[in-house]
Every structure is written in structure tokens, then in C-alpha cells.
């Protein structure tokens, strides 16, 4: 029985082109105590692989975090399967604002210690004792109040290309980095301020709101469904859009436009730009912002050194990469001394 992906990204992309059918990019999460994560993981893989579902899914004893792509014609079949699982029945599905049939090219379902790495070793608080969920209209109202502190729970490379007006945007690399920094920033406002948080789809705020309530904050709120759900509600209800720029997403699209504002700049020349690229040098693969002009000039690379390596024959590049690991560099998204115009 097949319990893992067997096709390469290139092979899957060719099959998608050949099928010529629309796919939907979807994300969802749910906190729930899962007793046997391996059995649950294998069950999902068998069912979803048969439905041609692709994506990145994390399972832990505390729940599930899923970002995936499903053939549009099989959406109802997929939804019916979710509803057949008690704790996933009627789970909120965040459907992407901008669709791309190749947002995911493999089905990866992994077992993790936590569905969101938070760096917390505190098991004394209930992750389901969350803050108050706000719909888009309620969110728009509360963030205009003087007694509100609005916090972006995402990382620096996410908020750099898009964030809500007047939001605090911590300069952090990971979610685990943000919790102690934000705790210090809002210290002393346990009772006299509304602590309002938002993130991409809601999962980071779900954990953070429970954590801050545990820390003694009385008025804790979170944007229901995150930026993805907010954008859909703004459009369907003709509300004022208070989000500036793009929403960073963790798939091949890299982002989806929420407003026409461009609030960031090319990291190489400084011109207004909000398009993320990965350095074409496979030994680097740094995520950074690059305009079309620099992309052409630099051959999609972050530096002259990477450009020189990338233009070497592939066999030579592979030989140079042997025995070397670049994972630390890859995950330092948008941070490099070669990026002259990184804010």
C-alpha cells in the first residue's frame, strides 16, 4: 500500500498540465487531541492520494494544520471526507484568494511534535481556551479604537510585503521568536487594552491568544480565518479593506494580492516591489524580494557570487554542493548582507 509520494514535482506538474482541470488551494487547521497520529496520518494519505490531493500537512497530538490543493471537481468528495471525521466536521476551509493549479506538487503528510512550532515548554495552559474571534467588520471597528494594540503574528518577510494599517510587525524569523518579544511589548496592559492579533489563516493566533490569556491578558481577540478569510469577507460584504499590499503564502504562489498598495522594495535596487523569489543558486535558495529588472540582470540570483555559480554547468554545481548543508541559510528568509536594500 502506497503511503508516501512517488512522483517528482516535475512529473506531477506535467500531469496537472495534461489533465487541464482547475484545482482549488485550501488551508485549514484544528486543535484536537489525536491519540494515534501515525494511524490518522496513514488514513489521510490513503484517502487523499486517491482524490489527487496535493499539499503540506502537519499532524501532532494537538491537532492538524493543512495547506493543500484539490481538484475542483472533487471538492465535495474531499469535504464529505472531512465531515466524516468527528473533529473536522464543518471545519472552516480557507479558500485562496488567488488560485494556481500548481500551488502544490506533492502530497506530504508529516507527524510533528506540534502543528505550529511555538518554542513553548509550558503545558499548564489549555490551547483551546482561545481569544474572541472577530469577523472582518468587527475587526475593522476594533482596530480603530485607541485602547487597541494590533499585532501581526507573522514573520518579518511576511509582514514586509503586506500588513494592516497601524499594526505592530515584530522583526522576527519564526513564530517561536515572536511570543517573548510581543509579551514584553504588551506587558502592563493586561487589563486596559484590547490585544488584537492576526496571521495568515488563523492558526498562529489560535495558539498565541490562548498563551496570552494564560499570561493574564483579559481582552484578547483574533481575526477569524486570518487575512485569507478577511479578504473574502471584505469583497463579499463590500467592506473597507484595511490591509495594505500582499498576503504571503507558503506554497509555490508565494503571495496573493489583497490591495494594490506596494509597501516594500526590491532588495537589490530599492525600487518599489513586492515579489518574492528564491535565489536560483541551489546552494543558496535564499528568499528575497526582486524586481523584474534585477531578476533579468542577476539571472534570478541574490548576489554576483550566486550568479557566477548558477551559470556554471549543472554537473559542476552538483559537485560543489556535495557534502554541504545549506538549511540554515535557506531558512534565514530575506536576511543576508548581500541584500543592500533590505529594510
Q: Are 335 and 342 in contact (CB under 8 A)?
A: yes
Residue 194: closest CA among 220, 215, 212, 169: 220
Q: Which three cell numbers stand for residue 282?
A: 541551489
Set 199, 279, 301, 306: catalytic member: 199
Helices (H), 226-313: 226-237, 292-297, 304-310
Q: How far apart are CA 148 and CA 223, in angstroms?
A: 13
Helices (H), the chain: 9-19, 37-50, 75-83, 136-142, 156-159, 175-186, 203-214, 226-237, 292-297, 304-310, 314-321, 327-330
CA 100 and chain centroid, separation: 16
Q: Are 94 and 26 in contact (CB under 8 A)?
A: yes
Q: How far apart are CA 57 and CA 50, in angstroms?
A: 16
Concerning whether 269 is annotated as a catalytic residue, the answer is no
Q: What are phi and psi of 231, to 5 degrees?
A: -60, -40
Q: How far apart are CA 330 and CA 121, in angstroms?
A: 26
CA 279 and chain centroid, separation: 19
Instruction: Give catalytic residue positions.
Output: 199
Amino acid at each position: 500500500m502506497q503511503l508516501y509520494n512517488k512522483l517528482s514535482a516535475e512529473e506531477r506538474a506535467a500531469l496537472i498540465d495534461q489533465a487541464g482541470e482547475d484545482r482549488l488551494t485550501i488551508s485549514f487547521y484544528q486543535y484536537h487531541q489525536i491519540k494515534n497520529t501515525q494511524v490518522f496520518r496513514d488514513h489521510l494519505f490513503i484517502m487523499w492520494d486517491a482524490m489527487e490531493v496535493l499539499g503540506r500537512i502537519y499532524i501532532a497530538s494537538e491537532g492538524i494544520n493543512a495547506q493543500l490543493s484539490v481538484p475542483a471537481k472533487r471538492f465535495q468528495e474531499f469535504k464529505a471526507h472531512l465531515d466524516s471525521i468527528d473533529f473536522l466536521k464543518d471545519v472552516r476551509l480557507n479558500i485562496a484568494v488567488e488560485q494556481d493549479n500548481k500551488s502544490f506538487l506533492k502530497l506530504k503528510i508529516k507527524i510533528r511534535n506540534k502543528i505550529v512550532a511555538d518554542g513553548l515548554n509550558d503545558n499548564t495552559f489549555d490551547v483551546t481556551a482561545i481569544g474572541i474571534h472577530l469577523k472582518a467588520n468587527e475587526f475593522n471597528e476594533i482596530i480603530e479604537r485607541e485602547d487597541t494594540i494590533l499585532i501581526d503574528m507573522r514573520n518579518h518577510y511576511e509582514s514586509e510585503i503586506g500588513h494592516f494599517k497601524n499594526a505592530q510587525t515584530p522583526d522576527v524569523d519564526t513564530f517561536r521568536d515572536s511570543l517573548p518579544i510581543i509579551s514584553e511589548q504588551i506587558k502592563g496592559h493586561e487589563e486596559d487594552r484590547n490585544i488584537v492579533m492576526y496571521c495568515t489563516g488563523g492558526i498562529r493566533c489560535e495558539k498565541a491568544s490562548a498563551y496570552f490569556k494564560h499570561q493574564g491578558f483579559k481582552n484578547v481577540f483574533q481575526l477569524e480565518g486570518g487575512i485569507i478569510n478577511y479578504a473574502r469577507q471584505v469583497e463579499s460584504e463590500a467592506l473597507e479593506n484595511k490591509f495594505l499590499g500582499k498576503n504571503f503564502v507558503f506554497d509555490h504562489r508565494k503571495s496573493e494580492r489583497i490591495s494594490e498598495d506596494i509597501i516594500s522594495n526590491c532588495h537589490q535596487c530599492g525600487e518599489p516591489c513586492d515579489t518574492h523569489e528564491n535565489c536560483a543558486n541551489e546552494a543558496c535558495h535564499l528568499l528575497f524580494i526582486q524586481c523584474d529588472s534585477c531578476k533579468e540582470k542577476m539571472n534570478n540570483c541574490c548576489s554576483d557570487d550566486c550568479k557566477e555559480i548558477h551559470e556554471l554547468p549543472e554537473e559542476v554545481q552538483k559537485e560543489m554542493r556535495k557534502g554541504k548543508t545549506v538549511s540554515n541559510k535557506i531558512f534565514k528568509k530575506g536576511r543576508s548582507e548581500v541584500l543592500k536594500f533590505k529594510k
